[in-house]
Chain A
């Protein structure tokens, strides 16, 4: 149905899509999988005629059925595209917050598709059609959603509205660019089910773009793997997963956190499975509730306290990795801030049996001071320690040696010592962050989603680094993530959190084999 032949696209510089050929059959779901920068989104946008104005198609053609949509060397025929966009092909974007107009009601925005493409419908017919589509995409409360502004809807509902907009005209092709990446796991599951249902019922083709191999495997009949602008491998999904031919595909598949079968990390297997019965407590959280102040908006109104974590009660043991899993807004970050002592609006007790805990943040781009060099950054914790406690003061030479030592431990070469963060990749920055947190040998490091901003192969490397440093230095980690698979891979024990409450805590294998809580089972699905 869609044929992309030898497509190459360049922005001002070199080509970012190189000789890509893809075909999408009727009613099939094709997954395009690749890491960020692999050219998958540019390919989709070019297909949709939505590529930025400085994108140049250098070679290739795109056909829709037998119509030639785009050819290299010729300017894009915007008139032709307007006929196809919406009517015959439509797109669902990643970020539902920014892809809906915040000043217009959801219903009006979807209705606009009908006004533009289905002439001759009366106002009532249009409204009826929109409501019907809303119900089809699982928005039960269609009447209410129709009159809501995007900010009044949850992320999942917004994505459903986007999907309603994409399917209302029954286009032959839907392009979904990372449609679930911005959503929580359980909502993600629902949206995936919905896409599958739409494909089954309406028999339209779906081009599903994702960085997540697990999702592609669940949804797609065929998969194309992209790397550096090229399609390196394509074929039926199971075939690719069973017998990947290219090294890159093998690497990608190996990097995906799995929970079936044995864990692949060696360090984990090397350690004795049974822990000594008396474990030393590192930190004790006793009946901890965390609040934040919610301002009432008026100048003189008293602000209210809102409870975000309720009666948390657990221990962290020396040298363990405790995984904390939960969706966004469940209070996991508030809990970690309370443990660190940043948030003081707490009831209950946090007792540390070790020196001050350190933190690794999610975003590798904002967690290192951009004006300093790597060497300076690694030495700063030691300098601060020396100022606070003169007995721990080190000579400049010792500090520098310790920084070089840590640089080696986190797997970076010496030449990075004098670089600035802006000269490093995301993964390298995260390594420096980890090094900075560990250099003062804290008993506990809290890592808040340390790998969720990273590509999947880099993610695997960082997880391995955390595992090996934990084994080498005996530091305990509180590892926070929304991704249960990542948690499974690194953690000794897992704690499940929802709506500010700790639902379940247990040894990793035990929790996976028989989850006691219904929500945990939903996460493990």
Chain B
């Protein structure tokens, strides 16, 4: 216990608050894959539009389904999809950014102009285009948002590799005869993690918002899977009769994004302090 107390004292407030909020989200998300208080699909005409109570802490929706269970499920779904989006774009970012940043030249120019072009459009719009080409569905949603988010990772990784490729210790590694791939991924890559980790958490937040937005528009996650964005759009029609229906998924999105923002800020500050 003493050790934990001492550890907590060392951390900054952003990190602790972020860790607590994001931790709760993660626990709910993991739990939702195995257990929810009620079935997320069980309808009951008798229990329509019940206000929050001890039995249904977030109330019930227009089909009499438990909103808390559906929010849990939605969080799980959202985190799962967002993680895959970030994974896809971050890996693309590392691979492309490392090579273009380190080697430069004409390939670098071409890739940079492409990322400029991609950055020129709002990301949701681009994702819409990609979805309309690929068709809707969970895999296509991940694929299209992954492609849309990749350029920002490419840029960050590239600029870090560009900065470090002429660092004294990399020049010396070259003189020792270290192979290029090893320089890229063993010598340079670990040095960019603190910067990269911040952009991963920011990207994760953007992915959550984008996924919710797409689902809200009806082209993201499809029923019967629960999704926070889809719940929001469903709740819109009953805003006067059952305000808690919209409030629950809305607050959940705010909670997740705020938690991960605080976490990334905390990590950034820790990196600066070190």
Considering only residues 172-195 of chain B, those with a C-beta below 8 Å from chain A are 172-179, 182, 187, 190-191
Of B168, B175, B178, B191, which one neighbours A371 at CB under 8 angstroms?
Answer: B191
Q: A42-50, A143-151, A354-362: which one contacts chain B?
A: A354-362
Residues in B with CB closer than 8 Å to A358 are 172, 175-176
Q: A217-225, A381-389, A482-490, A492-500: which one contacts chain B?
A: A381-389
A369 to B182, CA, bound (A): 14
Considering only residues 395-434 of chain A, those with a C-beta below 8 Å from chain B are 433
Q: Indicate whether A436 reaches chain B with its CB closer than 8 angstroms.
A: yes
Residues in A with CB closer than 8 Å to B190 are 371-372
With A369-B187, A370-B191, A371-B190 in contact, do A385 and B168 touch (Cβ < 8 Å)?
A: no
User: By the criterion CB–CB under 8 Å, are A369 and B191 in contact?
Assistant: yes
A433 to B172, CA, bound (A): 9
CB distance from B158 to the nearest CB of A (A): 19
Residues in A with CB closer than 8 Å to B175 are 340, 342, 356-359
User: By the criterion CB–CB under 8 Å, are B168 and A356 in contact?
Assistant: no
Residues in A with CB closer than 8 Å to B179 are 384, 387-388
Q: Indicate whether A98 reaches chain B with its CB closer than 8 angstroms.
A: no
Q: Indicate whether B167 reaches chain A with its CB closer than 8 angstroms.
A: yes
A440 to B172, CA, bound (A): 13
CB distance from A421 to the nearest CB of B (A): 9
Considering only residues 429-448 of chain A, those with a C-beta below 8 Å from chain B are 433, 436-437, 440
A416 to B176, CA, bound (A): 22
Q: Indicate whether A315 reaches chain B with its CB closer than 8 angstroms.
A: no
Considering only residues 349-385 of chain A, those with a C-beta below 8 Å from chain B are 356-359, 361, 363, 366-372, 380-381, 384-385
Q: Indicate whether B171 reaches chain A with its CB closer than 8 angstroms.
A: yes
CB distance from B157 to the nearest CB of A (A): 16
In the complex, what residue of chain A is closest to B187 when comparing beta carbons?
A369
In the complex, what residue of chain A is closest to B190 when comparing beta carbons?
A371
User: By the criterion CB–CB under 8 Å, are B176 and A385 in contact?
Assistant: yes
User: By the criterion CB–CB under 8 Å, are B191 and A363 in contact?
Assistant: no
Of B167, B176, B191, which one neighbours A440 at CB under 8 angstroms?
Answer: B176
Residues in A with CB closer than 8 Å to B33 are none
Residues in B with CB closer than 8 Å to A372 are 190
A342 to B190, CA, bound (A): 24
CB distance from B85 to the nearest CB of A (A): 28
CB distance from B218 to the nearest CB of A (A): 46
Residues in B with CB closer than 8 Å to A385 are 176-177
User: By the criterion CB–CB under 8 Å, are A368 and B177 in contact?
Assistant: no
User: By the criterion CB–CB under 8 Å, are A356 and B172 in contact?
Assistant: no
User: By the criterion CB–CB under 8 Å, are A380 and B169 in contact?
Assistant: no
- The contact size tier of chain B is 10 to 19
A369 to B174, CA, bound (A): 13
CB distance from A238 to the nearest CB of B (A): 41
User: By the criterion CB–CB under 8 Å, are A367 and B176 in contact?
Assistant: no
Of B169, B178, B182, B187, which one neighbours A367 at CB under 8 angstroms?
Answer: B169
User: By the criterion CB–CB under 8 Å, are A366 and B169 in contact?
Assistant: yes
User: By the criterion CB–CB under 8 Å, are A380 and B176 in contact?
Assistant: yes
Tally of A interface residues using CB under 8 Å: 25
CB distance from A407 to the nearest CB of B (A): 17
A137 to B174, CA, bound (A): 47
Residues in A with CB closer than 8 Å to B169 are 366-369
User: By the criterion CB–CB under 8 Å, are B178 and A359 in contact?
Assistant: no
Contact with A along B192-208 (1 / 0, CB 8 A): 00000000000000000
In the complex, what residue of chain B is closest to A388 when comparing beta carbons?
B177
Of A356, A359, A361, A363, which one neighbours B177 at CB under 8 angstroms?
Answer: A356
A437 to B174, CA, bound (A): 12
A66 to B178, CA, bound (A): 66
A388 to B169, CA, bound (A): 19
Contact with B along A308-331 (1 / 0, CB 8 A): 000000000000000000000000
Of B167, B170, B171, B176, which one neighbours A384 at CB under 8 angstroms?
Answer: B176
A357 to B176, CA, bound (A): 8
A366 to B167, CA, bound (A): 7
Residues in A with CB closer than 8 Å to B182 are 384, 387
User: By the criterion CB–CB under 8 Å, are A381 and B176 in contact?
Assistant: yes
A368 to B176, CA, bound (A): 13
Residues in A with CB closer than 8 Å to B177 are 356, 381, 384-385, 387-388
User: By the criterion CB–CB under 8 Å, are B171 and A359 in contact?
Assistant: yes
CB distance from A371 to the nearest CB of B (A): 4
CB distance from A445 to the nearest CB of B (A): 10
A411 to B182, CA, bound (A): 30
Residues in A with CB closer than 8 Å to B178 are 380, 384, 387
Considering only residues 153-175 of chain B, those with a C-beta below 8 Å from chain A are 167-175
CB distance from A333 to the nearest CB of B (A): 12
A246 to B170, CA, bound (A): 43
A447 to B179, CA, bound (A): 23
CB distance from A489 to the nearest CB of B (A): 24
Residues in B with CB closer than 8 Å to A380 are 173, 176, 178
Considering only residues 121-174 of chain B, those with a C-beta below 8 Å from chain A are 167-174
CB distance from A12 to the nearest CB of B (A): 14
In the complex, what residue of chain A is closest to B169 when comparing beta carbons?
A369
CB distance from A396 to the nearest CB of B (A): 16
Which of B174, B176, B177, B182 neighbours the largest number of chain A CB atoms within 10 Å of its CB? Answer: B176
User: By the criterion CB–CB under 8 Å, are A436 and B167 in contact?
Assistant: no
With A366-B167, A384-B178, A388-B177 in contact, do A359 and B191 touch (Cβ < 8 Å)?
A: no
CB distance from B138 to the nearest CB of A (A): 37
A520 to B187, CA, bound (A): 42
A388 to B179, CA, bound (A): 8
In the complex, what residue of chain B is closest to A340 when comparing beta carbons?
B175
A358 to B169, CA, bound (A): 12
In the complex, what residue of chain B is closest to A421 when comparing beta carbons?
B169
A492 to B169, CA, bound (A): 28
Could you list 26 examples of A-B contacts with CB < 8 Å? A342-B175, A356-B175, A357-B175, A358-B172, A358-B175, A359-B175, A361-B168, A363-B168, A366-B169, A367-B168, A367-B169, A367-B172, A369-B170, A380-B178, A381-B177, A384-B173, A384-B177, A384-B178, A384-B179, A385-B177, A387-B177, A388-B177, A388-B179, A433-B172, A436-B176, A440-B176
**Interchain residue pairs A-B with the least CB separation, the first 5:** A367-B168, A384-B178, A371-B190, A381-B176, A361-B168
Interface residues of B (CB under 8 A from A): 167-179, 182, 187, 190-191
